[in-house]
Amino acid sequence: MIPVVALVVAKAPVPGLAKTRLAGALGDRAAADIAAAALLDTLDAVAAASFEARVVAMTGDLDAARSSKEIRHRLDAFTVVPQRGNDFADRLANAHLDAAAAAGLRAVLQIGMDTPQVSAALLTECAQELWASDAVLGLAVDGGWWVLGVSDASMADCLRAVPMSQGDTGALTLAALSAKGLRVGLVAELNDVDTDDDIEAVRKACTADSRFARAVREVRV
C-alpha cells in the first residue's frame, strides 16, 4: 500500500442541483443519472487502487440523489467527511486537511467525480509520482485540473487564492504550487464532464460496460 490517502470530492447527484450545465441540454434527471454513474465509477477506481486510506468529502442530500442506495453502499468502503468552507476553493483546501486528519496520513491525492474514465492503475501511478515529488497535478483538456496530490495536506492551502471553474484554473493552480517552491510532477491530461459537448470524449475513454457508458447510452437512445 502507498502511504497516501485518496480523496474524492463529491456532490450528491440530486436532479436540479447536479451537473446544471449538462442539465441544460439533457434535463435534470438525465444529468443527475450521468453524475451518479460518474461518481460510482470513480469510487470503484479509487477502491481498487493501492491507497492506504480512502476518504470522500461529500456535500448535498444523498437521500434525494439518483442511485442513492448504490452510492451509500459503495461509500461503506470509504471514510466520509462533510465539505466545509465559504466557496469551492475553501472546500477543496479544507477537504485535504480533513482527509489527512481522518486517515492519520500527510500525503493526499484528490480527484473529483468528473473523470469516470480514470482507472486504478492511473491513480496508483499518480500516487507513486507524488511519493517522488512535492506535488502532482493532472490538467484537464478544458483548462482546469482533474487530480491534485500534495505530500503534505497543508500545501493545498494555496488553492484558496485560485479562481475555480475557469479556463485557466489549471495554469493558475500550477503557478500557485510552484510559487510555494514545490516540485510539481505533471501527470496525464484528461477530459472531464461538464457539458453535453464533453460526453462523447469521456465515454470513448471509458470501458464499454462502465456505469458512465451505460448511462450515456440510455440518454442517447
CA 179 to chain centroid, in Å, comes to 24
Render each residue's pLDDT in the chain as its tens digit; 221 residues: 779 999 999 999 999 999 999 999 999 999 999 999 999 999 999 999 999 999 999 999 999 999 999 999 999 999 999 999 999 999 999 999 999 999 999 999 999 999 999 999 999 999 999 989 999 999 999 999 999 999 999 999 999 999 999 999 999 999 999 999 999 999 999 999 999 999 999 999 999 999 999 999 988 65
Cell of 118: 480514470
**Structural domains in the chain?**
2-216 (3.90.550.10)
Q: Note the pTM of the prediction, 2 decimals.
A: 0.97
Place of cell 509520482: 129
- pLDDT score of 166: 93
Nearest to 66 by CA among 99, 120, 22, 111: 22
N-to-C CA span, the chain: 42
CA 92 to chain centroid, in Å, comes to 10
- pLDDT score of 175: 98
3-state helix, strand, coil in the chain (%, to 5): 50, 20, 30
Of the CA atoms within 13 Å of residue 131, those in its CB half-sphere come to: 15
Spatial neighbors of 2 by CB under 8 A, at least 6 apart, are 50, 51, 52, 124, 127, 128, 131
